[in-house]
Amino acid sequence: MLRYLQHSTAENAMDTSTKELHDYVSRVKTIPEVRQGYMSLSERFFYERQEGIKEGAKEATVENILELLEDYGEIPEELKERLNSVEDMALLKKYLKVAAKVDGIAEFQAVLSEKAEEK
């Protein structure tokens, strides 16, 4: 049963009860409304997972920037908030490279200000 639940294929329906379950599920999936809802649910899970991956990558990048800057002292809350508000991953990656090269928090903030003025 567990194998069938993990991979609901006819090959994994080994006993009578899982074969009956598979037949029922197969019939239900052919009903247009159910099929559409099933696909919508599947798509929603896919997009939610993608968003979760993006959010996790963003949070990890911000954390890496902050870890690099912590070596220079306490990081101002406004800088933390500014970094957390950035949604563009390419920009965060640039900030990460900058954080790895600067000699202090003030220099990092100056570079961020310069990049903001360039836009």
* Identity of the amino acid at 116: A
For residue 58 the two structure tokens come to 């963003």
Instruction: Determine the average pLDDT of the residues in 86-106.
Output: 95
What DSSP assignment string belongs to 63-112? HHHHHHHHTTSPPPHHHHHHHHH---HHHHHHHHHHHHH-SSHHHHHHHH
Q: How confident is the model at residue 115 (pLDDT cuts 50, 70, 90)?
A: confident
Tell which wins on pLDDT, 119 or 96: 96
Q: Is the pLDDT of residue 8 over 80?
A: no
**What phi and psi values does residue 14 have, to the nearest 5 degrees?**
-90, -35
Q: What is the mean pLDDT of the chain?
A: 85
Stated pTM of the model: 0.62
What pLDDT was estimated at residue 28?
75
